[in-house]
Structure 1
Amino acid sequence: MPSATRLALRPCAPADTDAVLSLVNADRLPGQPTATPEMLHEALAGRSPVDGGWWAELDPPATQVAARADGTVVGVASWALRPRDGTGLILWLHCREDPRVADALVAGALTALGPRPVEAFQLATALTRGVEALPRAHREATHAALERAGFRGEPQWRYLLVDLPAPDLPRAARVRTLPEPGDSHARRLEVRRGEAAAEAEAVIGLPVEGAGALWWIGVRPPSRRRGLGRALLGSALDLLASHGAREAFLYVETNTGRGGEDDRTAATALYRSAGFREVDLLHSYVLPAPPPTAGDGLRSAYPSRAAASAATS
């Protein structure tokens, strides 16, 4: 019976590349690119084109696979320590949503990290285009495994997708398209009157596998409530379509500042009225540190990778 099959947890090896990529791509969201060996190499090294500064704060990550007795790799998880505050992070985990494998991988990561506060799915990885948290509806077994381990999850982002072209949207006048400094795969759109400050701006990511990104769109307060945001959105989606995009995705923060500067109610309503549909709600997780007991200490609570390689029944 599958439930009686023994799992072994061991460090990820180069020979596991194909199996790990298969696991990652089994969880790929609509609009996201197929993970490649190059992307996996960056993730294993602890680098990411999004959230790169936060990744730089971490120790080199440890990555572990779960394998059956016959050697078949059925799961993978990666974690790291943030030295500045002693927090552990579960960075990414894939297991084809097998509850038993998810439980084993979460337990293995927590054993390696030791008794400390742990965060999970807080950073975007090199395996996606900016997916910064766990898509709960698509990853219910992983979500449940984290909850069983004591994590508390909170929604952070809405992941929205729209088909292109979007012919019913208006287009903005006086749009200039510029390179985005530091990102050769992005473009900035600006609406200006002469040399004055831009009235509105947007940043797009050029399409990969037919999907483009809308990274940012904003309108300065004096120019709001005139339809400029909607028109600039139409221009941004037009530009993506002209580069071959068949769909576009974006992330919008969940509404935690109702009525204030961080309120995303109007932005969410704009995107939905423009045809964007919600693919999933992305969650991040926190596990508080356990209360200290006699003899506990955090200095030795982050053992070597080998400490997590014991077999799990």
Structure 2
Amino acid sequence: MTTPAMLAEALAGRSPVDGGWWAELQSPVTEVICDETGPVLGAVSYALRSSDGAGFILWLHCREDQALAEALVARALERLGRRTVHAFEFASALTLGLEGLPAGHRPATRKALGAAGFAGRDLWRYMRADLPIAGLSHAAHCTVQDCEDPPGKRLEVREGGELLAEATIGRPVAGIGVLWWIGVAPPARGRGLGLALLGSALDLLAGLGAREAILYVDDDAPAGDPERDRTAANGMYDRAGFTEVDRLHSFTHRP
């Protein structure tokens, strides 16, 4: 659930995640649709980027009413003018780091973007699991330290001073913790270190008060790029008990 503090940050044009992208934007404009009696039915926030003149639909909510979604998208395009416009390109403060539109849960918004001429890109796999998860192994000699970007904890496994694997988790919010990153150095792969570090990270999240964990898998790796191939990562999360909630899409409209 979005809190008043999260909404205030989004309206101000800030976000704890992808903050560098937000810093490049001019001040966002947020507009709302109301009915005759006053209640807000929907809202859209948009902004321009000074460096290249591109426009951005930053966030849009309309309770998935098709007519409202279409009106909000049309309003943003009208105000942004004849230029390239991106939608749901980076995370806002209204989420725990959701970068992109959850296409399955937001069918009216997705359809409205398509009808307006936006081309979508399927970028991320969005997954969740209840905590704690029994039966996972744990990484030996794992050190934990605080980190601020994103706010949370960083786990490291070293051998002889060499970094073999690392993971980053976010501080739980309302019982939900984010697993931001797990990486294993190429020479250390194939030893089960990733799954063991995942077990350590999830136990740490549970110890911090998380009742569930969410994560995002960068699932748009170019063919033939072994460094970005997420086949092993997807298999690891599936084996650990994570289930896919949705696919995250970003969109671009060109004049």
**TM norm. shorter chain > 0.5:** yes
Who is 1:216 aligned against?
181
Q: Determine whether 1:249 maps to 2:214.
A: yes
Who is 2:251 aligned against?
285
- 1:51-103 CA-to-partner distances (Å, cap 9, x unmatched) read 11111111000000011122221000000001111111000000000000001
Q: CA RMSD in A?
A: 1.1
In structure 2, distance between residues paired with 1:182 and 1:86: 28
Q: TM-score, normalised by structure 2?
A: 0.97
Who is 2:138 aligned against?
171
Conserved? CA contact 2:47–2:57, under 8 Å: yes
Q: CA deviation at 1:37?
A: 1.6
Who is 1:225 aligned against?
190
In structure 2, distance between residues paired with 1:223 and 1:123: 32
Q: Determine whether 1:139 maps to 2:103.
A: no
Q: CA deviation at 1:206?
A: 2.1
Q: CA deviation at 1:38?
A: 1.5
Q: CA deviation at 1:255?
A: 3.4
Q: TM-score, normalised by structure 1?
A: 0.79
SS of 2:163's equivalent?
coil
In structure 1, distance between residues paired with 2:25 and 2:15: 12
**Matched residue type, 1:242:** G
Structure 2 gaps of 5+ residues are: none
Residue 55 of structure 1: which of 10, 22, 27 is its match? 22
In structure 1, distance between residues paired with 2:220 and 2:71: 34
Matches within 5 A, 1:31-42: 34-42=1-9
Larger Rg: 1
Change (3 A) 1:137 1:146: same
In structure 1, distance between residues paired with 2:209 and 2:253: 43
Change (3 A) 1:265 1:259: farther
In structure 2, distance between residues paired with 1:175 and 1:123: 31
In structure 2, distance between residues paired with 1:202 and 1:150: 39
Conserved? CA contact 1:199–1:219, under 8 Å: yes
Matches within 5 A, 1:49-128: 49-128=16-95
In structure 2, distance between residues paired with 1:38 and 1:256: 35
In structure 1, distance between residues paired with 2:246 and 2:203: 24
In structure 1, distance between residues paired with 2:35 and 2:148: 47
Change (3 A) 1:155 1:201: same
Q: CA deviation at 1:258?
A: 3.6
Conserved? CA contact 1:74–1:95, under 8 Å: yes
Structure 1 gaps of 5+ residues are: 1-33, 290-313
Who is 2:154 aligned against?
188
Conserved? CA contact 1:120–1:286, under 8 Å: yes
Matches within 5 A, 1:301-312: none
- 1:14-51 CA-to-partner distances (Å, cap 9, x unmatched) read xxxxxxxxxxxxxxxxxxxx212211111111111111
Q: Determine whether 1:276 maps to 2:255.
A: no
- 1:217-273 CA-to-partner distances (Å, cap 9, x unmatched) read 111111100001111101111111112211101111113234421111111111111
Conserved? CA contact 1:258–1:265, under 8 Å: no
Conserved? CA contact 2:92–2:98, under 8 Å: yes
SS of 1:59's equivalent?
coil
**Matched residue type, 1:283:** H
Q: Determine whether 1:129 maps to 2:86.
A: no
Conserved? CA contact 1:218–1:229, under 8 Å: yes
In structure 2, distance between residues paired with 1:218 and 1:80: 34
